């Protein structure tokens, strides 16, 4: 006899928010993490301990639009939908194209990747360097929070029981001429969970670094980014000198604390992360993203 499972799938966002306000529920977007996390044996439905609320069909969570230079992305847009959307910057598309594989890209959502808050979440280093903000809806209204304040640790996010992440906002990303790189190191190019991931962004104006940001995934409980170290490089000319590069790489060596696990070792992760940073800082960044 199958166990009874309560599940809701409302037509509208307001009904969904009412439900979240009245009961502690598990939220299901694409399901690519939740279904694996609660997997049972073959033939037995995943054991999810709370009532389930499906959200990935809600039209309010599927929109992509611009507001001045900010890009708003509905939390339930799949990677596949973002790859097809004309407003998504090419650098972000290039990065998404390297994530997972076609079948997962057709189900996995940006909001789901954020709320799953894996230390190795594929899109997270990118969202950190884009200074992404999240819009949360509840029956009491809307609030906006920076992604670095939202993600608090492995699978721990700053979301109240009655709140739903509805939009990801990338501030001033449209018309921006920054150069962005994204690297993911794993056992396999497709699908595998990252051993180390890296995203870097740089904008050069009249030969000088106008803006530079970089973030690492899978080398700590959350993404690692340091505005303080980034600011050391502002105003410098490219290519950077070995002294400048070494100074930043050495400083980063002290702030990343990867662990040993079944996917990789702390030693390997640190070595690769620092190599990626060295590589990023050594690039001339004279080719636009295409």
Minimum Å distance from CB 184 to other proteins? 13
Q: Does 206 bind other proteins (CB under 8 A)?
A: no
Q: Does 207 bind other proteins (CB under 8 A)?
A: no
Neighbours of 8 (CB within 10 A): 16
Q: Which residues pair with 214 in a beta bridge?
A: 200
- Site string (44-73) toward other proteins, x via CB under 8 A: xxx-x---x-x-xx----------------
Contact 274, 253 (CB under 8 A): yes
Minimum Å distance from CB 274 to other proteins? 28
Question: Whose Cβ is closer to other proteins: residue 43's or residue 141's?
Answer: 43
Closest CA to 73 of 175, 170, 177, 178: 170
Minimum Å distance from CB 251 to other proteins? 36
Question: Whose Cβ is closer to other proteins: residue 107's or residue 278's?
Answer: 107
Question: Whose Cβ is closer to other proteins: residue 28's or residue 199's?
Answer: 28
Question: Whose Cβ is closer to other proteins: residue 62's or residue 236's?
Answer: 62
Q: Does 13 bind other proteins (CB under 8 A)?
A: no
- Site string (111-130) toward other proteins, x via CB under 8 A: --------------------
Minimum Å distance from CB 44 to other proteins? 8
Cα–Cα distance measured from residue 280 to residue 182, given in angstroms and rounded to the nearest whole number: 10
Q: Does 106 bind other proteins (CB under 8 A)?
A: yes
Q: Work out the angle at residue 174's Cα, subtended by the Cα atoms of residues 170 and 179, and round it to the nearest 5 degrees.
A: 90
Residue 57, CA atoms < 13 Å, CB-side half-sphere? 8
Q: Does 175 bind other proteins (CB under 8 A)?
A: no
Query: What are the DSSP calls for 241-272, one per residue?
Result: PHHHHHHHHHHHHHH------SS--HHHHHHH
Contact 196, 173 (CB under 8 A): no
Question: Whose Cβ is closer to other proteins: residue 218's or residue 273's?
Answer: 218
Whole-angstrom CA distances from 130 to 62, 123, 138, 263 are 20, 11, 25, 27
Place of tokens 């009245």: 22
Region of 103-111, 209-217, 235-243, 276-284 interacting with other proteins (CB under 8 A): 103-111
Q: Does 101 bind other proteins (CB under 8 A)?
A: yes
Cα–Cα distance measured from residue 90 to residue 76, given in angstroms and rounded to the nearest whole number: 20
Q: What six digits make up the tokens of 147?
A: 């992604």
Question: Whose Cβ is closer to other proteins: residue 42's or residue 262's?
Answer: 42
Q: Does 192 bind other proteins (CB under 8 A)?
A: yes
Q: Does 39 bind other proteins (CB under 8 A)?
A: yes
| Greatest distance between any 2 Cα atoms in the chain | 70
- What are the residues binding other proteins (CB under 8 A)? 2-5, 7, 9, 28, 30-32, 35-36, 38-39, 42-46, 48, 52, 54, 56-57, 80, 97, 100-104, 106-107, 189-192
């Amino acid at each position: 006899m199958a166990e009874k499972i309560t599940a809701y799938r409302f037509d509208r966002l307001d009904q969904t928010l009412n439900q979240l306000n009245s009961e502690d529920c598990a939220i299901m977007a694409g399901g690519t993490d939740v279904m694996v996390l609660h997997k049972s044996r073959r033939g037995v439905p995943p054991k999810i301990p709370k009532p389930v609320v499906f959200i990935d069909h809600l039209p309010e969570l599927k929109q992509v639009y611009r507001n001045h230079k900010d890009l708003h992305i509905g939390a339930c847009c799949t990677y596949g939908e973002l790859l097809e959307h004309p407003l998504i910057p090419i650098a972000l598309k290039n990065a998404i194209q390297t994530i997972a594989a076609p079948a997962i890209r057709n189900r996995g959502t940006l909001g789901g990747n954020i709320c799953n808050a894996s230390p190795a979440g594929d899109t997270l280093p990118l969202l950190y360097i884009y200074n992404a903000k999240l819009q949360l809806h509840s029956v009491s209204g809307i609030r906006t929070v920076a992604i670095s304040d939202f993600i608090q640790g492995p699978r721990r996010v700053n979301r109240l029981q009655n709140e739903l992440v509805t939009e990801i906002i990338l501030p001033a990303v449209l018309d921006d001429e920054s150069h962005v790189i994204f690297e993911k190191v794993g056992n396999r190019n497709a699908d595998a969970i990252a051993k180390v991931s890296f995203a870097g962004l740089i904008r050069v104006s009249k030969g000088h670094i106008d803006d530079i940001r970089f973030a690492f995934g899978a080398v700590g409980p959350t993404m690692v980014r340091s505005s303080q170290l980034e600011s050391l490089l502002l105003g410098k000319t490219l290519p950077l000198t070995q002294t400048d590069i070494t100074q930043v790489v050495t400083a980063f060596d002290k702030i990343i604390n990867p662990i040993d696990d079944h996917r990789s070792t702390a030693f390997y992760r640190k070595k690769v992360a620092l190599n990626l940073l060295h590589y990023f800082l050594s690039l001339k960044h004279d080719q636009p993203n295409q």
